[in-house]
Each structure stands twice: as structure tokens, then as C-alpha cells.
């Protein structure tokens, strides 16, 4: 199934079909079909898409499965196939699926974005309409964020050769004030407007830094006692993750909670690196922390304190606290539901006397 040419999302089946059309017409892109195929596979797995075919338990279905297995092992041709195999499961590349910037690597997102622009150009669709949509679809409505992305995109020589006349359209879309800031170098003098903007950003950053520093050494005021907290986070060593091993070892969890929810003055060295993978993603732990916060916190604005606490022990959170903007971008997505295939059941780790509200109440 191919999405409409005017679809303003970065939709994977549509741009896959576009790349295949370009290959058939002899219009090669800056990277070949095989490279783009690998990008699509990484993106689909990171999006936690469900496979359309898993290793069958019933032998009567084995022939159907083996047919796909044989096809997947064939040498790559010029055109990108409509499916792929990953860890004995098969995923569909011909189904409508949307790429989201927050879930995929920066390089992969940039290449998908470029191909989407080329697809829109070939269909004579409005580039400005697409950019306005993407500002809210992938850049949280922040004009300066998408402007910075577009500026870096058009500063790259290889991208300019590929996009050609689109580069000027992209530059024209960037806000003039943002463009001045992006182009600013130490040799160029500040005008008053830019200077005020920079001072405001510095003041905001200093305020954020002060607020984060003021939380260090404090204890989070939580509804649960320490035994209840330890019971909940026992999932980190009781649940299986990659290769049948837990997310963290019991002794690591014990060290994290040794002093309850007291935020240390500085992070441990080295930070604990969770045993995660594409199949058992880091977002499982993030979802659990947010779930814990939602059930145990006494204050609505305590959430950053919770994540500051875990950033002192677990690798992967500190960069989300560098600035207020980075934290807000991160915080918006911490409560997203776990993928359907996830077996992690956090309800069983709630305190025994905790009452789970019925749906609709």
C-alpha cells in the first residue's frame, strides 16, 4: 500500500516506492538502494513495529514461513524488497508507517527527510506546506529547532548537490532572526536584537543550571516507603532482557536505592549501563520510571527530580537534563505506551496494598 503523494508525514512505504521508481528510471540518488534498505530496516525496528510473521509453533505453517526465509536470503537486487527478516521475524515495508525523529538516529532521519523532499518535488507538492507540518510533527512546534536542522542540511555540500534548487527554498523558509543567529561567528558583530536573544538564552540556561544544582543532595518526597520502592524496581533484575539477562544486576539496583531517593551530589563513576537492545529497548526503563513517578509522587513538578536521581546512576539520562528545552522534549515522550509485543507487566511490582483504578473511574 502506497501513501498519497501529498502525505506530509515522513511515511516509509511511500519513500521506499519513490526510491524504487528512481532506480527503475535510472535516476540514482546519493546512496544506493542497498544502503537505503538498511536505513529502513533500522528505522522499522526502532519504531517497535510488529512483525507480520514470526517463527511458527505449528508445523503446518512452516512451509509459509520457510518461503519467506528463502526469499530473505536471496542476494540483494537493485530494487528494495517489500519485507525484511530480523531475529527470525519478518517485517513489512509495504505498510503505511511513519518515521519519528525522536526514535531514530540523526543521520537516518536526515536521509529520510531529504528523500521525502525529493519525493515531494517530483510530485510538484508544496515544500513550504511540508516544512510547516514537520515543524509540529517532528520538531515539537519549535521554529528555531527546525530552522537549525534545515540550516545544517543546506550547509552540507553533498546535500546541496542532491537537493539543488530546493536548497534556496529551504533557506528562504528559515526565520530571518534565526538565520542571523545560526550564521553568527565570533568575527561578526552582534546587532541589538541578536544580542538580546543571546542574553535571554544565557539567563534561561543559568536559571536551569541553578535549579538542577539545587536539587542535588535533596531527598525526593515520595508517597511510597523504601521497601515499596525496592519492590517496584526489583523488575530491573527479575525481568529478562537481552540474552536472557536482566536489565541491571541486583547489586546495582541495591546501590541505586541504598539511600532511598536521595539525589547524590554527583553521579557514580562509571554509570551503570543497562542491558538493553532493539528488542528490549531502553524506553522500557524510561516508561517504568515515569510509571513509578505517576503513582508515587506527591508533587506534580517533581518529575525532573525523579529523572535527575536516576541520571546519577544509569547511563542515558544526563543529556536530557542539559537544558530546559532538552528536558521538555524528553519529558513529552516518557509516558508513551510500551509496544504491544512487550511482556513487561509493571502492575505486579506495585505495592501489595496499592489499588489500581478500574477503567472509566
DSSP string of 11-56? BHHHHHHHHHHHHHTT---SS-HHHHHHHHHHHHHHTTPPPSB---
pLDDT at site 48:
72
The answer for residues whose C-beta is within 8 angstroms of residue 313's C-beta and 6 or more apart is: 252, 255, 256, 267, 268, 271, 272
* Residue the block writes with cell 547524590: 264
The residue among 254, 294, 246 whose CA lies nearest residue 274 is: 246
What are the cell numbers at 74?
A: 536471496
pLDDT at site 353:
67
pLDDT at site 354:
62
DSSP string of 211-275? HHHHHTT-B--BSS-HHHHHHHHTHHHHSB-GGG-BSS-HHHHHHHTTTTTBPPSS--SSPB---
DSSP string of 68-111? HHHHHTSPP-SSPPSEEEETTEEEESSS--B--GGGS-HHHHHH
pTM (2 d.p.): 0.53
Classify 314 as helix, strand or coil.
Answer: strand
Residues with pLDDT less than 50, the chain: 1-4, 185-200, 202, 356-361
Crossing angle (nearest 10°) for helices 303-311 and 324-331? 100
pLDDT in tens, 105-138: 788 899 999 999 999 998 888 999 999 999 988 8
Rg (CA), the chain: 24
Classify 174 as helix, strand or coil.
Answer: coil
Contact between 221 and 245 under an 8 Å Cβ cutoff? The reply is no
Domain ranges of the chain: 12-125, 226-349
Contact between 307 and 262 under an 8 Å Cβ cutoff? The reply is no
DSSP string of 260-291? TTBPPSS--SSPB-----SSS-THHHHHHHHH
pLDDT at site 301:
64
Q: How far is CA 317 from CA 307, 308, 312, in A?
A: 7, 8, 8
Amino acid at each position: 500500500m502506497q501513501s498519497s503523494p501529498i502525505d506530509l508525514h515522513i511515511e516509509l512505504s511511500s519513500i521506499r516506492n519513490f526510491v524504487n521508481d528512481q532506480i527503475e528510471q535510472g535516476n540514482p540518488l546519493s546512496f544506493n538502494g542497498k544502503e537505503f534498505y538498511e536505513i529502513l530496516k533500522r528505522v522499522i525496528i526502532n519504531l517497535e513495529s510488529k512483525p507480520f510473521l514470526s517463527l511458527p509453533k505449528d508445523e503446518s505453517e512452516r512451509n509459509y514461513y520457510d518461503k519467506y526465509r528463502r526469499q530473505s536470503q536471496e542476494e540483494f537486487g537493485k530494487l528494495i524488497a517489500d519485507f525484511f527478516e530480523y531475529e527470525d521475524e519478518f517485517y513489512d515495508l509495504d505498510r503505511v508507517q511513519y518515521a519519528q525523529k525522536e526514535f531514530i538516529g540523526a543521520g537516518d532521519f536526515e536521509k529520510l527527510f531529504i528523500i521525502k523532499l525529493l519525493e515531494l518535488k517530483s510530485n510538484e507538492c508544496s515544500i513550504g506546506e511540508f516544512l510547516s507540518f514537520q515543524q509540529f510533527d517532528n520538531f515539537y512546534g519549535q521554529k528555531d529547532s527546525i530552522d537549525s536542522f534545515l540550516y545544517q542540511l543546506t550547509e552540507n555540500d553533498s546535500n546541496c548537490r542532491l537537493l539543488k534548487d530546493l536548497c534556496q527554498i529551504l533557506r528562504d523558509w528559515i526565520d530571518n532572526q534565526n538565520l542571523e543567529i545560526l550564521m553568527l561567528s565570533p568575527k561578526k558583530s552582534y546587532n541589538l536584537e541578536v544580542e538580546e536573544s543571546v542574553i535571554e538564552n544565557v539567563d534561561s540556561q543559568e536559571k536551569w543550571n541553578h535549579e538542577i544544582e539545587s536539587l542535588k543532595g535533596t531527598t525526593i518526597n515520595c508517597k511510597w516507603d523504601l521497601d515499596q520502592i525496592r519492590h517496584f524496581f526489583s523488575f530491573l533484575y527479575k525481568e529478562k532482557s537481552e540474552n536472557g539477562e536482566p536489565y541491571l544486576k541486583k547489586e546495582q539496583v541495591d546501590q541505586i536505592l541504598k539511600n532511598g531517593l536521595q539525589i547524590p551530589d554527583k553521579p557514580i563513576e562509571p554509570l551503570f549501563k543497562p542491558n538493553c537492545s532493539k528488542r528490549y529497548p531502553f524506553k522500557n526503563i524510561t516508561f517504568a520510571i515515569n510509571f513509578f513517578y505517576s503513582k508515587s509522587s506527591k508533587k506534580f513538578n517533581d518529575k525532573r527530580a525523579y529523572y535527575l536521581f536516576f541520571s546519577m546512576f544509569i547511563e542515558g539520562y544526563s543529556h536530557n537534563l542539559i537544558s530546559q528545552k532538552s528536558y521538555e522534549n524528553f519529558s513529552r515522550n516518557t509516558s508513551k505506551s510500551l509496544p504491544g509485543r512487550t511482556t513487561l507487566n509493571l502492575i505486579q511490582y506495585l505495592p501489595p496494598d496499592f489499588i489500581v483504578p478500574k477503567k472509566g473511574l
